Structure 1
Amino acid sequence: MPGTVLLLAASPVGKGCLVDAASVLPVLAAVPPAVLAGTDTANVVELADPLEPQAVLTRLRAAAAAPGPLTVFVAGQLQLDRKQRLPHLALARTTPSTVRYTGFPWHWFREELRLRAPGTTTLLLDLHADAETWGWLRGRGLECGAGVAAYGRVAPPAGRRKVAAPTYMKAIATVLRSGGRPGPEQLHQTALARIAGEGEVGDLVLWGAGPVPGAVPGAGPVPGTGAGVPGGFAPAAPAAPAAPAAPAAPSVPASGGGAPGSPPPALDGPRPRTPDGPAGDPHAAITAAVQAGDHSAADALAARLEHGALVAHGAGSEEALHWSEVRADLAMFAGDAERSCRTWMAVAEARLAAGQPADAAPVEAAVDRAHHQWGRVTDRNRARDLGPALAELRGRVPGRRQGALDHVREQLRQLQTQG
């Protein structure tokens, strides 16, 4: 099955730039697509210094929806927004005061990849952080999502007025261009070994699958040895010499969503343990049903899990809300924009009723997705019926995008005028 590769390099223009992220793209682009993906054939999408977070979101969603292994290469810098203190990938127009609106929220990666089957997605990351974000990361780590294999490093600022180079990612590209395709862990270790002598001390090193509950960032054995907590961070140290490259084992299948010009996605809630699906994970069974085109079976399974979570944990619990969000996504995949819109609105109302603030990321995300799906309802009567409830909800949850409430009101006026 063909693989998909997303190459993303982003950093601010001007004095806020910490790393010349785009300089790695020509080196990566020189690697054959099949080698980048670790598959027989592959499609490559390249994003160089994108201006808008929505443009990145659209490309990421399209890549996540591709029915095959997905490998995402990200070079850039991380910054915290001033309001919610969440990490964002800084884009070309990002400044410290506009991160919330011009950066790409890191949790969007986790959200867009959450419905992919475990073991199908690999992230390779070469990130730099300003001093404030660096301190935040050392206390919390960087979450990439359950079932996602993430490898890479995060480096502190290189120094006053000094722009760093994405040396880890360039080392990755050099290894891949040299022939063969080592597996991601060996590729990661080899890249660490290549940059170990370049004086980049104090880095955080990320490796393995999605984060393990209870893992402590900054703890564990020296990276580069293959030991340690999967998905955790540890202080960088000289890596052990890498073994010779071996043929790679490729990744595997997917699922996702699509959306022009709006919504930040919702945060991923805790995934309840259940006996359904391979290895006890019902997400794999749901993903398989969606890929087979059996949307009713996928929704029926999610509905059973939602009901079980409601009984066990209550209506406002993250366990129940997670399955409601999954059902909203499933409605979107099935082409039922009206049902998806109604479900996202119900999720937002449930979060608000549970006491979550209107500017909480999961609440904003649910309303933004409801807004987006409303715009895809083709039946004018149904869209007109949904509009007042969405406008009322939008009034309480304006979100990050300026003019979102005005947009709903204007569209609703047009629908009412057109009768």
Structure 2
Amino acid sequence: MPGTVLLLAASPVGRGRLVDAAGVLPVLAAVAPAVLSGADTANVVELADPLEPQAVLTRLRAAAAAPGPLTVYLTGQLHLDRRQHRPHLALARTTAATVRYTALPWHWIREELRLRSAADTALVVDLHADAEAWKHITAHGLDCGPYTAVYGRVAPPARRGLAEPAYMKTVATLLRSGHRPPLGTLHEQALSRIPEETRGNLLLAHAGGWTAAGTATTAPAAPAVPLGAGPAGGAPGAAAPVIPAQGIPVPELPAPWGPAAARPGDQSGVPVGDQSGVPVGDRPGEPAGRPPADPESVGDPPADPEPSGGSDPHAAISAAVRGGLHEEADGLAARYEEAAARAHGAGSEQALHWREVRADLAMFAGDPVRSCRAWLAVAEARLAAGQAADAPAVEAAVDRAHHQWGRIEDPASARELGPALARLRLRVPGRRRGALENVQRQLGRLQAAP
């Protein structure tokens, strides 16, 4: 099965440029696709200084939906959204005042990769942060999700001049030998060649997976710190800043469903719900959701979709979806939702996460009515819990409900769900202008139809 490689290099045009990101692409492009991927063959997609976050998201989404291993080589710079204080990858048109609208939210990357497995999904990053983003990341980490392997570095803003993507160029140079070692080994080899260029950087080494603990350290070598432990800091030689534990514990389930890894004291976890807030449009004025998985595109149906001891239930659910076993996938997610509700309450993040998973599963199964209804319920639950209308998880739920509503072909069902969506859009307009008006226009046409 061929792999997929996404080469993404982005930085603003003009005075806001911190790093010559696109300068690394010729070096990466000289590496054989199979070596970039680690597979026998690979499809390579290259994005050089893209202009629109929606275009990047479309390419990322397609890469994430492809069967086989996926490696994303990402070079660029990070800025902080001044409104929600979330990291964004700057694109060609990004300025300090337009980050929220012209840059790619980092959590979109995490969100698109969240249903994949760390066994076949990796991010290799060479990132430079502006002063605000650097302060935020050294305090809070860079959340890439627990199911994506991540290797690379985040550098503070250069004191003078344009920075070079030295880490990524070194990685590319090593790969031009025709051999791709394990990414952890490749990461260490690259760092050993450029110790001065990475001094004081945040070094990322997270193998991903259900029970794996990643590390984030500052160079020069601070001791490796497990994910979610220890103090935060950012100065060279200080205690290593750490990426906070990513996710929440999976609830214990009655045998044979409960994973052995989900015991008190374990660091295993699952990602906290849908953090996207993606305001993208498959059609004008309408947010778009992730395209349904192709059941025929990935392997055969598993003989038994339940997770075995210590395994990731998301991997079992994803395998069931890819095999066309949609009822089995939803049934497994429902069991985890019930257990989370018993243990933590129906409005807890643990329970809401599994409700969001089930909303996605309904979309994969081609049931937009059930998916829309589920996303509406998630949005209402988050608002009832006191979350802000512009919180990413709330915006994401309403955006996805909107998208699924637009896919409903039965007029009666669309008329039934439309008023609830319109009420939510009054409270949660989202990032895309005209979303409320879009609902009102479509609902008006439905209600006027015989």
Q: Under TM normalisation by the shorter chain, which class is it? A: 0.7 to 0.9
**Structure 1 residue aligned with 2:248:** none
Alpha-carbon distance in structure 2 between the residues aligned to 1:82 and 1:145: 23
Q: 1:276 to 1:200 in 2, by over 3 A?
A: closer
2:178 matches 1:179? yes
- Secondary structure at the counterpart of residue 123 of structure 1: strand
Higher mean C-alpha displacement, 333-342 vs 353-362: 333-342
| 1:296-315 aligned within 5 A | 296-315=327-346
2:320 matches 1:283? no
**Structure 2 residue aligned with 1:191:** 190
Higher mean C-alpha displacement, 90-99 vs 211-220: 211-220
2:199 matches 1:168? no
- Secondary structure at the counterpart of residue 279 of structure 1: coil
**Structure 1 residue aligned with 2:429:** 398
State whether residues 422 and 439 of structure 2, in contact with CA within 8 Å, keep that contact through their aligned partners in structure 1. Answer: yes
Alpha-carbon distance in structure 2 between the residues aligned to 1:83 and 1:324: 28
Q: Deviations over 1:124-182 (max 9, x none)?
A: 0000001111111111111111121100001111134x221211111111111122111
State whether residues 429 and 436 of structure 2, in contact with CA within 8 Å, keep that contact through their aligned partners in structure 1. Answer: yes
**Structure 2 residue aligned with 1:241:** none
State whether residues 80 and 86 of structure 2, in contact with CA within 8 Å, keep that contact through their aligned partners in structure 1. Answer: yes
| 1:1-400 aligned within 5 A | 1-160=1-160, 162-197=161-196, 199-210=197-208, 218=217, 222=221, 228-229=225-226, 260-261=281-282, 262=287, 276-277=307-308, 279-400=310-431
State whether residues 204 and 235 of structure 1, in contact with CA within 8 Å, keep that contact through their aligned partners in structure 2. Answer: no
Q: CA deviation at 1:117?
A: 2.5
Q: CA deviation at 1:279?
A: 2.2
TM-score (norm 1): 0.85
**Structure 1 residue aligned with 2:247:** none
State whether residues 7 and 72 of structure 2, in contact with CA within 8 Å, keep that contact through their aligned partners in structure 1. Answer: yes
Alpha-carbon distance in structure 2 between the residues aligned to 1:98 and 1:210: 32
**What count of residue pairs does the alignment treat as equivalent?**
388
**Structure 1 residue aligned with 2:253:** none
- Secondary structure at the counterpart of residue 194 of structure 2: helix
Q: CA deviation at 1:118?
A: 3.6
Unaligned runs of 5+ residues in structure 2 are 238-273, 291-305
Amino acid at match of 1:414: R
Q: CA deviation at 1:201?
A: 2.9
Amino acid at match of 1:291: R
Q: CA deviation at 1:315?
A: 1.4
Alpha-carbon distance in structure 2 between the residues aligned to 1:340 and 1:415: 20
State whether residues 205 and 236 of structure 1, in contact with CA within 8 Å, keep that contact through their aligned partners in structure 2. Answer: no
State whether residues 210 and 230 of structure 1, in contact with CA within 8 Å, keep that contact through their aligned partners in structure 2. Answer: no
State whether residues 208 and 231 of structure 1, in contact with CA within 8 Å, keep that contact through their aligned partners in structure 2. Answer: no
Alpha-carbon distance in structure 2 between the residues aligned to 1:209 and 1:106: 19
State whether residues 139 and 217 of structure 1, in contact with CA within 8 Å, keep that contact through their aligned partners in structure 2. Answer: no
Alpha-carbon distance in structure 1 between the residues aligned to 2:412 and 2:442: 13
Amino acid at match of 1:144: C
State whether residues 90 and 104 of structure 2, in contact with CA within 8 Å, keep that contact through their aligned partners in structure 1. Answer: yes
Q: CA deviation at 1:222?
A: 2.1
Alpha-carbon distance in structure 2 between the residues aligned to 1:213 and 1:189: 18
Q: Deviations over 1:272-325 (max 9, x none)?
A: xxx944524211210110111111110111111111111221111001000001
Q: CA deviation at 1:355?
A: 0.9
Q: 1:362 to 1:204 in 2, by over 3 A?
A: same
**Structure 2 residue aligned with 1:242:** none
Alpha-carbon distance in structure 2 between the residues aligned to 1:386 and 1:201: 55
- Secondary structure at the counterpart of residue 310 of structure 2: helix
**Structure 1 residue aligned with 2:441:** 410
Q: CA deviation at 1:184?
A: 0.4
State whether residues 341 and 369 of structure 1, in contact with CA within 8 Å, keep that contact through their aligned partners in structure 2. Answer: yes
- Secondary structure at the counterpart of residue 5 of structure 1: strand
Q: CA deviation at 1:370?
A: 1.0
State whether residues 204 and 215 of structure 2, in contact with CA within 8 Å, keep that contact through their aligned partners in structure 1. Answer: no
State whether residues 264 and 365 of structure 1, in contact with CA within 8 Å, keep that contact through their aligned partners in structure 2. Answer: no
Alpha-carbon distance in structure 1 between the residues aligned to 2:147 and 2:9: 23
Higher relative contact order (CA 8 A, sep 6+): 1
State whether residues 138 and 218 of structure 1, in contact with CA within 8 Å, keep that contact through their aligned partners in structure 2. Answer: no
Alpha-carbon distance in structure 2 between the residues aligned to 1:208 and 1:216: 6
Amino acid at match of 2:186: L
- Secondary structure at the counterpart of residue 412 of structure 2: helix
Higher mean C-alpha displacement, 33-42 vs 48-57: 48-57
State whether residues 6 and 72 of structure 2, in contact with CA within 8 Å, keep that contact through their aligned partners in structure 1. Answer: yes
State whether residues 204 and 236 of structure 1, in contact with CA within 8 Å, keep that contact through their aligned partners in structure 2. Answer: no
Amino acid at match of 1:203: N
Q: 1:103 to 1:377 in 2, by over 3 A?
A: same
State whether residues 91 and 104 of structure 1, in contact with CA within 8 Å, keep that contact through their aligned partners in structure 2. Answer: yes
Q: Deviations over 1:213-248 (max 9, x none)?
A: 99896579927x9x55369998778xxxxxxxxxxx
Q: 1:72 to 1:213 in 2, by over 3 A?
A: closer
Alpha-carbon distance in structure 2 between the residues aligned to 1:391 and 1:92: 35
Report % sequence identity: 64
Q: 1:260 to 1:129 in 2, by over 3 A?
A: same
State whether residues 200 and 218 of structure 2, in contact with CA within 8 Å, keep that contact through their aligned partners in structure 1. Answer: no
Alpha-carbon distance in structure 2 between the residues aligned to 1:406 and 1:114: 31
